[in-house]
């Protein structure tokens, strides 16, 4: 039994006349009669009694009619909810996941700018490590992710928003604190505070240090950059970190010296990623297209 056949049954039940129902539905009487036969064969009992030219619901038909109406109402509600969720009605929901380090400046700036032109779209946000948000992207629980570095997966599309330089954060009073620019080899023997291995910036840290000829001695592995800055300030170690951003909440905390790093590659690319194999709802596509078109300028403004 199809949705259409169920709908036709309800119309015949309301009209109690095949000719009138066929006219209302704009179908032939023969097609409608065959559909009614299939419905009754599917439920296993006759639903109508014939009274001359009219069809009258019997007690089985009256019982089934209430269920059919509820089923059709639920299907209509489901369709309306899908339209609302996907944005087919001009609104919709976007599931966006992003790294912790983007939550104080980049993501809020993107959301503010997008809301100004698409106020009816709802953003469902999730914040986690690079590996976790890429898992969410692959399994469909996230529509889009703002991440770093570029995902190493051919099924995931990537659009660069900006390149963010990394700085060497040192404790106040550190022997290098007065310097503007350093090479990582100068801190090869020092302890580092760093993000946990699941975070993209940790991989960048390890690669840059390896290129400088050493493996960092990790004193602490954390989940957020603000904690690492605090531990650097407390003297636990040095850290290769993104700089505090203008307008970000981190500027409310005491600052530690952030020195420019002379080593090549002391930066990370920030970008938007999506699964190129998965269909995107209109609301998702609207956000993706907006970030591709405007996100670079927004990121550059936030990084300054």
Say yes or no: 100 and 226 in one domain: no
Give buried/exposed letters for 117-134 (b at 16+ CB in 10 A, else e).
ebeebebeeebbbbebbb
Q: For tokens 């300054």, name the residue.
A: 304
149: cis peptide before it, omega within 30°?
Answer: yes
Q: What is the reported pTM?
A: 0.69
Say yes or no: 182 and 254 in one domain: yes
The residue segments making up the domain with residue 131 are: 93-162+269-303
Say yes or no: 125 and 63 in one domain: no
Say yes or no: 273 and 249 in one domain: no
Q: By the 8 A CB rule, do 104 and 298 touch?
A: no
pLDDT of residue 84: 62
Q: Which of 86, 119, 139 is the last residue of a domain?
A: 86
Q: By the 8 A CB rule, do 103 and 72 touch?
A: no
Q: Which of 22, 51, 86 is the last residue of a domain?
A: 86
Q: By the 8 A CB rule, do 95 and 141 touch?
A: yes
pLDDT of residue 113: 96
pLDDT of residue 247: 47
What does the alpha-carbon distance between residue 227 and residue 233 come to, in Å, rounded to a whole number? 10
Encode pLDDT of 122-158 as tens digits: 999 999 999 999 999 999 999 999 999 999 999 999 9
Q: How far is CA 71 from each of CA 37, 68, 81, rounded to the nearest angstrom?
A: 19, 5, 15
Q: By the 8 A CB rule, do 303 and 164 touch?
A: yes
CATH code of the domain covering residue 290: 3.40.190.10
pLDDT of residue 270: 95
pLDDT of residue 90: 58
How many domains does one find in the chain?
A: 3
- Residue numbers of the chain with a pLDDT score lower than 70: 80, 83-90, 246-255, 303-304
Q: Which of 61, 86, 111 is the last residue of a domain?
A: 86
Non-local CB neighbours of 299 within 8 Å, separated by 6+ positions: 106, 109, 161, 162, 270
Say yes or no: 107 and 152 in one domain: yes
Pairing of strands 156-165, 267-275: antiparallel
Give buried/exposed letters for 224-252 (b at 16+ CB in 10 A, else e).
bbbebbbbbbeebbbbbbbebbeebebee
pLDDT of residue 253: 47
């Amino acid at each position: 039994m199809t949705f259409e056949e169920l709908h036709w049954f309800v119309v015949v039940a309301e009209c109690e006349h095949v000719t009138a129902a066929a006219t209302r539905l704009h179908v032939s009487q023969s097609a409608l009669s065959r559909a009614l036969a299939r419905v009754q064969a599917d439920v296993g009992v006759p639903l109508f009694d014939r009274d001359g030219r009219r069809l009258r619901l019997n007690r089985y038909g009256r019982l089934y009619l209430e269920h059919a109406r509820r089923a059709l109402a639920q299907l209509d509600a489901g369709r309306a909810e899908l339209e609302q969720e996907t944005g087919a009605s001009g609104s919709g929901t976007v599931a966006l996941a992003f790294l912790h380090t983007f939550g104080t400046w980049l993501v809020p700036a993107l959301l503010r700018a997008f809301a100004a032109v698409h106020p009816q779209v709802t953003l469902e946000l999730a914040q986690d490590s690079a590996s976790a948000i890429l898992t969410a992207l692959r399994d469909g629980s996230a529509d889009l992710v703002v991440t770093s570095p570029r995902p190493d997966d051919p099924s995931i599309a990537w659009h660069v928003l900006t390149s963010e330089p990394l700085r060497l954060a040192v404790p106040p009073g550190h022997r290098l604190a007065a310097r503007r620019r350093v090479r990582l080899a100068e801190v090869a023997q020092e302890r580092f505070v760093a993000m946990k291995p699941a975070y993209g910036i940790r991989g960048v840290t390890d690669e840059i240090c390896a290129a400088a000829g050493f493996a960092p001695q990790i004193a602490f592995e954390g989940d957020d950059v603000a904690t690492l800055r605090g531990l650097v300030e407390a003297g636990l170690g040095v850290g290769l970190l993104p700089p505090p951003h203008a307008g970000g909440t981190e500027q409310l905390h005491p600052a530690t010296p952030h020195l420019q790093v002379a080593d090549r590659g002391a930066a990370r690319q920030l970008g938007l990623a999506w699964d190129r194999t998965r269909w995107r709802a209109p609301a998702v596509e609207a956000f993706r297209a907006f970030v591709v078109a405007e996100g670079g300028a927004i990121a550059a403004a936030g990084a300054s």
